[in-house]
Amino acid sequence: MNVSLNWLASYIDLEGLGTQEMADMLTFAGIEVEGIQERGVKTDLVVVAQVMEKTPVEGSDHLNVCMVDAGEGSLRQIVCGAQNYKVGDKVPCALPGAVLPGGWEIKDGKLRGVESRGMLCSASELGLPDKEHGLWILPADYVIGTPVRQFVGTDTIFELEITPNRPDLLSHWGMARELAGITGRKLKADPASAAMGAVETKPAGDVITLSAPDICPLYTATRISGVKIGPSPEWLADRLVAIGLRPINNVVDITNYCLFELGHPLHAFDAAKLTGGLNIRRAAEGEQFESLMGDTYTLKSDDVVISDASGSALALGGVMGGLNSGVTEQTTDIVLESAWFARSNIRFTSRRLGLGSDSSYRFERGTSPWNVLRAAARATELILECAGGTAEPVLVGGQAPCLVPEENAPNATVVEQGSDAKIYYALDQVQLDWKELDVMTDGSIPHTEATTILKNLGLKNIDGRGTWDCPPWRLDLKRSCDLLEEIVRVYGIDNIPATNTAIYVEESANDRASDYRMALSRKLAGAGFWEAQTFKLIAAESIDPTIASVENALPIKPLMDGDIIRVSLPISEDHSTLRPSLAPGLISVAARNINQGLEVLRFFECGRVFRNTGGGKGKDIETEVLGIFMAGKVGPASWADTKPAGAGFEHIRAVLDILVPKATITLIPAKQARENAAVGADIQINNQACGYFARLSLAKCRALGLPMESYYAELDLRKLQQVATAPYKATDLPQFPGSSRDASLDVPAATRHADIMKAVEAAKQKLLVSTGLKDVFCDPTGEKLAADRKAMTYTFLYRDAKKTLTAAEVDAAHKCVLDTLAAKVKGLSFR
Amino acid sequence: MKDQIASVQAAALDRIAGITDMRGLEDARVGILGKKGTLTQVQQGMRNVPKEDKPAVGAMLNEARAIITAALDDRKAALQAELDAAAVAGVDFTMPGATLPAGGLHPISIVRDEAVRVLRRMGFTLADGPDIEDEWHCFDALNTPDDHPARNEKDTFYFDSGKLLRTQTSTVQARVMEKQAPPVRIICPGSAFRRDAIDATHLSAFNQIEGLYVDKNVSVGDLKGTLEYFLKALFGSETAVRFRPHFFPFTEPSFEIDVLLQAAGQAPRWIEIAGCGMVNPAVFENIDKATGKTQYSGCTGFAFGIGLERLAMIRWGIRDIRLLIENDVRFLAQFQ
């Protein structure tokens, strides 16, 4: 909300309060200052000048060279680009040395090579609202050479962000009241008090029918006859312009003015356009409403409309007037609405229709029923003053919501408004417990000081103990903690000493999980992997490889439709679905980096993946996983290694091995390869399923622009942690040397390493402590080895814990292993 | 015999002096001292030496072997020294290194870990909660009114099931308190989601770290002391910290916290960094009502939330938040 300091100063004495001081004061009262605009000219170097000559600048289609008389005895040459002036006009002229709003200093200079000694100004260049497009044409009777400062006022506009709990601050009077409360400065007269002193009210009878009392329980209408619609007086128009509003006509301007003065929205109908009494009712489902802006809206039954005997909707209650019921130049009689609407309905209507106004903004945050009659009386007073006419008593329909005395608040203090038809407003009563204040502030705020703070804010202590009446404008004060907040806020947290309290705590499972995740991440970073953090919301499918999409999830089992969790109303298809795997994100990261020419593509991510267990009807499962993606070269090329090898299966396998060095990792090939994954496998750690592995299909790689093998592994972080952090003991180093033997096996090409290892195990040779694959040799040409065969060389290490083995003992053990191999592995021979 | 020994010794020493490499040295050792070496051959003449001369000739032979061996060893040491000197003589220390595959942590991980480490040092333990939440934990328990703007399909991601993606990590406050009796002293880093279009300053999924301390007699002073310590640990002990009153439904009083930061060539500016406040008693009442216990009545506490993307952006002067989700290695490499 924009607040004009000039306007504010008519309600509270701001003498001696600097702009920055005031900004700080507001900030520490919880009102965010989003901007400060200084309006008007403060320098004497902007003067009234008359344009004496005007000739086009050669080679320019819009610049003119002007000779102007600024009252200096000689003419001044200034180049000007505006088009709206003529020779003889008087305009503001900024002389060299003048500093304009925004800190812009005017200097002698040249434009298109033509000397220019100053600047002719528009209103906006002087920090004033623009009244015309181009130079500000001044009245002809202004004296040449006079500083413009003498004709225009200055003002400071604060752009304030009011938190949703403080709708009482959404007006100048409300802001003045708050400043008085927090500074102790004196408030001037309440702008509504004179009008309220004279207000007459009458029961509305059947003129007002409240058909939706849950949404609109209180509605007043004031008929003013014989008004003369015309422009607003200058003081009123200036105030509206200052806060960014456009003056329309005196009656409409006054309803707007009262909204920004007292904070309560009003609406004026043209009485001639109403038929019979007013009916405030819920809209019919599908009812059409045409707003005063000319747009048509389809309504629902939670919307409230003001209709008349004709039944048509004249206004969308609390939000906006209708097209054909408003005040025009021809209007002579008006009906002024001041009412109270339930905030949730107005919010619902405004948001659903995307239709907001200064009125709906206030109603949806909450307005005080106490302000209904005040605004009606104040606006009527101003209309009579500015537009003439005679006012009838205010017709009151209904009663302030939930506030009829006795029934709802037996002990409440009741404020009574009006004459014949009374509006009762019961004040909220709050019990303040001083002990709570002492606990909250460690006893640092004296109770006398706290009492003063509450009193300054308009609260009244009614029993000399802890019972406080809250002022009618403060809708947010309901409980003890609300008062504590006020005391702390105004006293200032700066004045409350900081303390440090700590307790001893047990380490939680989450602490250990976080430690493991960081250790794992650092290990992978050290192994040459970049940690990525990709978006949890991904696309269902996309042809752009840099957009993560579910189709790249590379699962071992097919993902069913219901497994995937999709938000109801995504912002875009690219971010519509919760990721079922980290693969799509990491693939998109690889695709993005390939586009930047990166050749080593090694990424990992730790994070949650999401699945539904029961085809959309079961539980939503969130699992913390580790995803590892690897493609491209094993390392960057350099002079020392000009052609690094491409990453292969063995490299991703090596990474898996360093994750859990003490465990056995097994890949169990998937029965059926999935789309996008040429090869897929379940990953088992110590024979427990722990994740999956995939090599991307070459078709997918080509689609990614990735002409190399690409691997992905995803592991359950909790299971990984369980294995990796299992307790263990150190073992003694062997005391006797071992002895190794190599064997080169000539086997059919289809023989797997696992087949060999199984046979070695079957030998049950106790002296054998390790078996290592040393070399694999194939020869597709068939020259050195038949093309359908391969040679696998293994090293076998033998050792006895208790003695040094003799050569004969080692040979015997080795022979046992080789014999078993020969017997168990089909088609094996030794080379 | 003595002459023979003397001449073999002289020839051997000449040969050794002329050796230029290790191979020549080894050849000389074999050629002189080996089985068929010149000295060994002379030695074989011992059997023909008269008995009475044997001690003297023997001594001479031994002396010759010792002298030659010493000469060989000296020569070897000299050659080795030459080789060692040559090995470092030509090294160009200005050459670039071979390149290892580089890797590193994501900046969000770095700031999260740093914040977590400071807070754990202060006696907070990590807690956790799901990203897919229900309205109770996300809104009702946290005193968010039914008609609050956040409870809307336009601001919050809902699912057809009625569940939603949590809009703040504060959900974990409710998750922890319904399971655990006071005192509670927890933090929770995690994702939060809001239906914001992605631009230079907004992401629809982002990271926060939430903190909660509940016990008997927790005060505003504790909130202030804790957060001042935390922020000074993150931004430097000289950092000025200020608390501005604000509004959040689940705390009262509520504050936003600014830190005074200075960018290069600019005047210091207050930058909003976190939100905090004293837990609203309504939250405790909601928890007790849901659990059917009264363990939180009479407790006080404070809670705070801090955006990790914002923390990273302020810390490293990152201008566009989208850089944090693009994972371009040219960006990631700057944080190592």
pLDDT digit string, tens, across residues A212-246: 999 999 999 999 999 999 999 989 998 998 898 99
Half-sphere exposure of residue A526, counting CA atoms within 13 Å on the CB side?
Answer: 8
Average pLDDT estimate for A52-66: 88
For chain A, first and last CA: distance in Å?
A: 90
Task: Give the bridge partners for B158, in sequence order.
Answer: B164
Asked if A314 and A325 touch (Cβ cutoff 8 Å), the reply is: yes
**Residue B175: left (phi > 0), alpha (psi -120 to 50), or beta?**
alpha
Q: pLDDT for B250-297, tens place per residue?
A: 999 999 999 998 777 778 889 899 999 999 999 999 999 999 999 999
For residue A709, give Cα distances in angstroms to A529, A706, A802, B329. 17, 8, 48, 20
Average pLDDT, rounded, for chain B: 92
Chain A residues 494-523 with a CB less than 8 Å from chain B? 494, 496-508, 510-511, 513-514, 518, 521-522
Mean pLDDT of A427-455: 94
Which among A439, A489, A518 has the least Cβ separation from residue B113?
A518
Scanning the structure block, which residue is given the tokens 């002067």?
A: B317
Terminal-residue alpha carbon distance, chain B: 77
Task: Give exposure, A622-639, as e/b (b: 16+ Cβ within 10 Å).
Answer: bbbbbbbbbbbbbbbeee
Mutation for testing the B interface, residue in A530, A571, A589, A610 having most B CBs under 10 Å: A530
Closest residue in chain A to residue B324, using alpha carbons only = A533
Residues in chain A: 831
Record the tokens describing residue A20, joined without a space: 């920055």
- Is 90 exceeded by the pLDDT of residue B39? no
Interface contact B278-A440, CB threshold 8 A: yes
Residues of A whose CB is below 8 A from B221: 441-442, 444, 496-499
State mean pLDDT over A27-46: 87
Burial class of residue B239 (count of CB atoms within 10 Å of its CB; 0-12, 13-18, 19+): middle
Phi and psi torsions of B213, nearest 5°: -130, 120
Measured CA to CA, the distance from residue A687 to residue A663 in angstroms comes to 10
Q: Which residues on chain B are in Cβ contact (under 8 Å) with A491?
A: none
- Name chain B contacts of A618, Cβ cutoff 8 Å: none
A296 to chain B, any CB pair closer than 8 A? The answer is no
Res A678 pLDDT > 80 = no
Largest pairwise CA distance in chain A: 128
CA distance B39 to chain A (A): 38
Pairs across A and B, CB distance < 8 A: 243
Give the closest of A351, A518, A575 to B204, CB-based: A575
Q: Which pLDDT does position A412 carry in this prediction?
A: 84
Residue A372 burial by CB count (10 A; 0-12/13-18/19+): exposed, middle or buried? buried
Q: What is the mean pLDDT of residues B121-131?
A: 95
Q: In which band, very low, low, confident or very high, does the pLDDT at A570 lie, cut at 50, 70 and 90?
A: very high
pLDDT tops 70 at residue A616: no
Mark which residues 604-643 of A lie under 8 Å from B by CB.
608, 610, 620, 622, 634-641
Partner residue facing A602 (CB), from B101, B225, B281:
B101
User: Is A159 within 8 Å of A36 (Cβ atoms)?
Assistant: yes
Tell me if B202 sits within 8 A of B196, measured CB to CB.
Answer: yes
Q: Which residues make beta-bridge pairs with B206?
A: B192
Element (H, E) at A49: strand A46-56
Nearest-neighbour CA in chain B from A627: distance (Å): 14
Give the mean pLDDT of B173-179: 96
B326 to chain A nearest CA, in Å? 7
Between CA B13 and CA B31 the distance in angstroms is 12
Nearest to B183 among A440, A503, A602 (CB): A503
- pLDDT the model gives residue B145: 85
Chain B partners of A545 at a C-beta cutoff of 8 Å? none
Burial A185-206 (b: 16+ CB within 10 A, else e): eeeeebbbeebbeebebeebee
pLDDT at position A407 over 80? no
Q: Are strands A710-716 and A620-632 parallel, antiparallel or unpaired?
A: antiparallel
Q: CA-CA-CA-CA torsion for A567, A569, A571, A572, nearest 10 degrees?
A: 70
Contact A317, A283 (CB under 8 A): no
Confidence band for A409, pLDDT divided at 50, 70 and 90: low
Q: How far is A710 from chain B (nearest CA, A)?
A: 17
- Taking CA–CA distances from A439, the nearest residue in chain B reads B217
Residue A282 has pLDDT above 70, yes or no: yes
Cα–Cα distance measured from residue A372 to residue A337, given in angstroms and rounded to the nearest whole number: 9
A495 to chain B: closest CA residue: B221
* Exposed/middle/buried for residue A341 (C-beta within 10 Å: 0-12, 13-18, 19+): buried
Is A592 in contact with B327 (Cβ distance < 8 A)?
yes
pLDDT(A406) > 60: no
- When pLDDT is averaged across residues A595-624 and rounded to a whole number, the result is 90
- Contacts of B29 by beta carbon, 8 Å cutoff, 6+ apart: B72
Q: Which one, of A501, A435, A481, lies nearest residue B283 by Cα?
A: A481
Residue B230 burial class via C-beta count within 10 angstroms: exposed 0-12, middle 13-18, buried 19 and up: buried
Q: What ipTM was assigned to the predicted interfaces of this complex?
A: 0.87
Burial of B14 (0-12, 13-18, 19+ CB in 10 A): exposed
Kindly state the average pLDDT of the residues A496-523.
91
Judging contacts by C-beta atoms under 8 Å, the chain A residues touching residue B210 are none
How many CB atoms within 10 Å of residue B142? 24
Residue A557 pLDDT exceeds 80:
no
H-assigned helices in A263-311: none
In terms of CA atoms, which chain A residue is nearest residue B134? A620
Nearest CA-CA partner of B197 in B97, B321, B83, B293: B321
CA distance A802 to chain B (A): 40
Judging contacts by C-beta atoms under 8 Å, the chain B residues touching residue A637 are 99
Bin A450: left if φ > 0, else alpha if -120 < ψ < 50, else beta.
alpha
Task: Please give the average per-residue pLDDT across A157-165, as a whole number.
Answer: 93
Contact across the interface for B328 and A165, Cβ inside 8 Å: no
How close does chain B come to A494, measured CA to CA in Å? 8
CA B274 – CA B119 distance, rounded (Å): 15
Single out the residue of B266, B275, B102 nearest to residue A638, CA to CA.
B102
Q: C-alpha angle with apex A76: A73 to A78, nearest 5 degrees?
A: 165
Q: What is the C-alpha separation between B272 and B303, in angstroms, rounded?
A: 17
Instruction: Report the residue of chain B nearest A514, measured CA to CA.
Output: B126
Give the whole-angstrom CA distance, residue A259 versus residue A376: 11
Q: How far apart are CA A469 and CA A775, in angstroms?
A: 90
Q: Residue B164 in contact with residue B135, Cβ under 8 Å?
A: yes
On whether the pTM is more than 0.95, the answer is no
Smallest CA–CA separation between A728 and chain B, in Å? 26
Question: By the CB < 8 Å criterion, does A294 face chain B?
Answer: no
Q: Are A308 and A280 in contact (CB under 8 A)?
A: no
**Residue in B with minimal Cα distance to A349:** B147
Tokens representing residue B30 in the block: 């074999």
Burial class (CB in 10 A: 0-12, 13-18, 19+), A118: buried
Q: Does A536 touch chain B (CB under 8 A)?
A: yes
Which of residues 547 through 566 in chain A touch B, CB cutoff 8 A? 565-566
Q: How far apart are the CA of A722 and the nearest CA of chain B, in angstroms?
A: 18
Of all residues in chain A, the percent with pLDDT exceeding 70 is: 98
Which residue of chain A has the CA closest to B127? A510
**Pair B163, B133: CB distance under 8 Å:** yes
Contact A280, A211 (CB under 8 A): yes
pLDDT tens digit string along A336-393? Answer: 999 999 998 999 999 889 899 999 999 999 999 999 999 999 999 999 999 999 999 9
User: Which secondary-structure segment (H or E) carries A36?
Assistant: strand A32-39
Tell me whether residues B123 and A602 touch, CB distance under 8 A.
no
Beta pairing, strands B125-126 & B184-193: parallel
Nearest to A626 by CA among A589, A671, A656, A591: A656
CB contact under 8 A, A567 and B104: no
pLDDT of residue A367: 95
A575–B225 C-beta distance less than 8 A: no
Compare CB distances from B103 to A530, A533, A622 and report the shortest one's residue: A530
Which residue bears the tokens 């390493």?
Answer: A753
Q: Which of B108, B131, B156, B159 to mutate to test the interface with A (most CBs of A within 10 A)?
A: B159
In chain A, residues with a C-beta closer than 8 Å to the C-beta of B324 are: 533
* DSSP E strand boundaries for A299-362: 304-307, 313-316, 320-321, 334-340
Give the nearest chain B residue to A623 (CA atoms): B130
**From the list B125, B195, B280, which residue is nearest A507 (CB)?**
B125
Confidence of residue A674 (pLDDT cuts 50, 70, 90): low
Q: Residues B198-251: pLDDT tens digits?
A: 998 899 999 999 999 999 999 999 999 999 999 999 999 989 999 999 999 999
Residue A264 DSSP class: -
